[in-house]
Structure 1
């Protein structure tokens, strides 16, 4: 059960980091109503596809964006068609591996952790999760 607890802490850390990024990006880019708007701004060239905002860099990719803190912590997120932030087990593992004290958890433990965090988290489509609204 300790492994699932570590995975649960990892998921909560990811969600907390994602919320902090959302807040910082909206302060830095006033025209941003939600984090997903970064895609449209980058595609229309109103902001660069990659850059620095405070203590983190960002790089827009495909359907999402990867944020990297100065200390190397990586938070990669995709955006659903409705603009909600979605993530999968791969993104959660990458986040865990990027922590100063790297945390390598199995997909099985992450799946159990995500399940234990419902209704805080919702499965948007098979294998993709978001913070419930």
Structure 2
């Protein structure tokens, strides 16, 4: 049970980190209405596909973006068609392993943690989650 608690803290930490990135990016790019807009800005060449903004470096990929903070914490997120942020267990594990004090939890513990956090989280498709509005 202790591992599920650690996994739950990891999921909540990922969500907090995502909110902090959203705030930092919107402060740095006033035209940004939502975090997903970074992909469109990069595709239209108004921002680079990979750069530093504030305390984060970012790299646009496929349907998402990877953000790395100055302390090395890695937050990788994809964006759904409507612009919502979506993530899977792999992205949560990667985030945990990138923390200053790495936290390695099993996919089973992460799945239990995510289920325990509903209705805060929605499963938007099998294995993919988003924060409820």
Which category of TM-score, normalised to the shorter sequence, fits these structures?
over 0.9
SS in 1 for 2:83: coil
Aligned residue for 1:24?
24
Any unmatched runs of 5+ in structure 1? none
Taking the aligned partners of 1:56 and 1:23, their CA distance within structure 2 comes to: 12
Aligned residue for 1:2?
2
SS in 2 for 1:87: strand
Aligned length in residues: 133
1:72-106 C-alpha deviation (Å, 9 max, x unpaired):
10000000011000000000000000001100000
RMSD of aligned residue pairs (Cα, Å): 0.4
Taking the aligned partners of 1:18 and 1:87, their CA distance within structure 2 comes to: 11
Taking the aligned partners of 1:54 and 1:42, their CA distance within structure 2 comes to: 17
Taking the aligned partners of 1:63 and 1:121, their CA distance within structure 2 comes to: 20
Is residue 36 from structure 1 mapped to residue 36 from structure 2 by the alignment?
Answer: yes
Aligned residue for 2:77?
77
Deviation at 1:55, TM superposition (A): 1.1
User: 4+ residue stretches of structure 1 with deviation over 6 A?
Assistant: none
Any unmatched runs of 5+ in structure 2? none
Taking the aligned partners of 1:128 and 1:85, their CA distance within structure 2 comes to: 10
Deviation at 1:67, TM superposition (A): 0.2
1:37-58 C-alpha deviation (Å, 9 max, x unpaired):
0000000000000111111100
| TM-score normalised by L of structure 2 | 0.99
| TM-score normalised by L of structure 1 | 0.99
Which residues of 2 match residues 78-97 of structure 1 at below 5 A? 78-97=78-97
Aligned residue for 1:115?
115
